[in-house]
Amino acid sequence: MRKRTIKLLLLILIGLVTGVLIFCLHGFHQPSAARSSGNIKWVDFDVTYEAMKDTMEIDIQTHEQETHISWIDSLAYLGAKYGGDFKNYQKTDLSLFVKKLQEGQDLEDFTKNMKYFPYYKKAYGAVLGGFLGYYKLEVPSDDGGTRWVERYGLKAFSPIAEGYWYTHFDDFGQNRSYGYSRQHLGHDLMAGTGTPVVAVEGGVIEALGWNQYGGWRLGIRSFDKERYYYYAHLRKDHPYAENLVIGQTVSPGQVLGYVGQTGYSLKENTNNIDTPHLHFGMQLVLDEKAKDSPNQVWINLYAITRLLENHKSTVEKVGSEYVRKYGFSEESYYLASAKEDKKSQVKLPVLMYHGLLKDPKMHNNYVISPDLFENDLQYLKKNGYTTILVSDLIDYVENGTPLPEKPVLLTFDDGYYNNYFYGFPLLEKYKMKAVISIIGKHTDDFSKVNDNHATYSHVTWKQIQEMLASGLVEIQNHSYNSHDNKGGRKGVLKLSGESDDAYGKFLRKDLLKLQKRMRENTGITPTTFTYPFGAISDSSLPIIKELGFKASLGCREGINTITKGDPDCLYKIKRYLRTPEKSSSDFFKKVESDLKEQ
């Protein structure tokens, strides 16, 4: 009786497992939701390179015409016509679709009898939504320098930098056996060790570090949060470009790391992959809850990789690192509605302080009394303002985390000791926050000596650690040693006749040195660059973005418009210089007048 019961239980268990396997296999190829026109749950992306290329070319050709024919609409029409099987693709079918729209037929009317057109439009839009649009590109000019041009076209990049060979074939879904038998949910690009790997699309780093299957790997979420890019098996000992951290924004074409053969090991930094290659993957995040579940949706990238071969990032070597040679800037396609929606925007005044000293003889445009600073804090508190940090702005822009009703940002430039001695106790007293941008060399120098003088000393690393621990102070980068106007350079401005290469080397060396010193002494990497003297150079913007800075502070006065989903709005933030002549009420009359006008 006992044996019969055990046998029965085994048969039931086998039946359940078989049913689950059948369900999973069915779900992988054709889930019931796959043809839903509502919220989609699955995407089988079988679009061919030829179909993508043809529809993209028509999109680009018509982008300024009265009837702009989106490649997503074209592909959705073809997908609905073929049932998603693009082996049947014929260019004549696309030509008919284009002709009908150009003759004036309405898209909705033309596709009304195509039951699954809405599904394919959502599905293909989720895969390709960030690939095509307007962008600005830095190009060589006739005078030996560079200039910026605006274009419309493919703005996603090949994951392999220009000038580097690789081979690939359609390997999606093949069997992999390390750890357990599974399907290969990515695309392998065979390339030499050390080949620069670049960001296909702009986004935010979500994963960085070792994984036993992927080795040194990197995960980046697109700004619209629909695509998660996975780059794996990066190089042993030197997998990543310098200064990458989780939470950092990256831009299209930015160097991320280097091809290697790490992985298939629980032990970090181990080469257990036979052939150096980049594992390149794209996961669609159709449901945030399913991102890390067994129901993940991964896309076959073979045809997409072929398409991206038409747009490669030019890189150059600077020291031991490769960096993008020419600047690239895009206005992300999904921001337009947010910019038009006033609920997605916040008006932000930013105040700029420098020194705090009691002696009236020391007061000037850059030094006020501690009492006046306290009066400012009292005024802000009385009138309902809430002080925030740059990290709050970044969280609002990137994640939509709400800001207070009347936000204000207080900033101190140069990192004087008197900020700590007079200013920090007042921040603690009123429970208010402030950003202090330090000059790295001065902090290094004064950390070596016991010379705390309110007039000329700068904050030490120990004092910085104390302020950071309070949660009221945020420390940012004001250059390591570019504030003394030596060698004829004002701050970080480009010198007359200075080559792009020489300028890039100077700026990267200076800024990265302070980034490194901050990490060594605080464990924190600054997210914001504060321009010395407010001297903003257009040549610097692509570089500071490349180095991971998500915001920059200038000295131009005015109210800032901070837009949810628009990372570019955080650069060149305007600030009101606080001078000693006006009382707090008179000073804020000007600020509040500008707020009303906005």
Q: What is the pLDDT of residue 176?
A: 84
Which amino acid is located at 74 in the chain? S
- Superfamily in which the 137-330 domain is placed by CATH: Glucose Permease (Domain IIA) (2.70.70.10)
Q: Model confidence over 522-548: pLDDT tens digits?
A: 999 999 999 998 777 777 888 888 888
Percent of the chain whose pLDDT exceeds 90: 67
**Residues 574, 580, 581, 587: what is their CA dihedral angle, to the nearest 10 degrees?**
40
Beta bridge partners, 250, equal 203
Q: What is the model's pLDDT at position 248?
A: 80
What pLDDT was estimated at residue 114?
Answer: 94
Task: Please give the Cα distance from 271 to 190 (Å, whole number).
Answer: 15
Q: Where are the alpha helices (DSSP H) in 331-401?
A: 336-340, 370-382, 390-399
Across-strand partners of 355? 367
Rounded Cα gap, residues 132 and 204, in angstroms = 19
Residue 421 CA to residue 411 CA, distance in Å, equals 16
- Sequence-distant (≥ 6) Cβ neighbours of residue 477 within 8 angstroms: 437, 438, 440, 511, 514, 515, 518, 526, 528, 529, 530, 549
Contact present, 231 and 256 (Cβ < 8 Å): yes
Per-residue DSSP letter, 416: B
Return the closest-CA partner of residue 359 out of 349, 370, 350, 345. 370
Helix, strand or coil, per DSSP, at residue 174: coil
In CATH terms, the fold of domain 339-591 is TIM Barrel (3.20.20)
Residue ranges, comma separated, of all CATH 3.20.20.370 domains in the chain are 339-591
Q: In tens digits, what is the pLDDT along the chain, a chain of 598 residues?
A: 444 444 444 444 444 443 333 333 333 333 333 333 347 788 889 999 999 999 999 999 999 888 999 999 999 999 999 999 999 999 999 999 999 999 999 999 999 999 999 999 999 999 998 899 988 888 887 777 778 888 999 999 999 999 999 999 999 989 888 877 888 999 999 999 999 999 999 888 999 999 999 999 999 999 888 999 999 999 999 999 987 888 887 889 999 999 999 999 999 999 999 999 999 999 999 888 878 888 899 999 999 999 999 999 999 988 788 988 888 887 643 344 444 444 578 999 999 999 999 999 999 999 999 999 999 999 999 999 999 999 999 989 888 888 999 999 999 999 999 999 999 999 999 999 999 999 999 999 999 998 999 999 999 999 999 999 999 999 999 999 988 766 677 788 888 888 888 888 999 999 999 999 999 999 999 999 999 987 777 778 888 888 889 999 998 899 999 998 888 899 999 999 999 999 999 999 999 999 988 6
What is the CB-side half-sphere exposure of residue 124 using CA atoms within 13 A?
A: 28
pLDDT for the residue numbered 32: 31
Question: How far, in Å, CA of 447 to CA of 439, rounded?
Answer: 12
Give the whole-angstrom CA distance, residue 403 versus residue 407.
7
Q: Which has the closest alpha carbon to 239: 219, 262, 221, 220? A: 262
| pLDDT the model gives residue 331 | 60
Q: Tell me, what's the pLDDT at 487? A: 67
Residue pair 297/42 in contact by the 8 Å Cβ criterion = yes
The predicted structure's pLDDT at residue 120? 95
For residue 535, what are its two tokens?
A: 């001297």
* Predicted local confidence at residue 445, as pLDDT: 96
pLDDT digits (tens, 9 = 90+) for 87-114: 999 999 999 999 999 999 999 999 999 9
Side-chain-facing half-sphere of 444: CA atoms under 13 Å? 13
Write out the residue limits of the CATH 2.70.70.10 domain(s) in the chain. 137-330
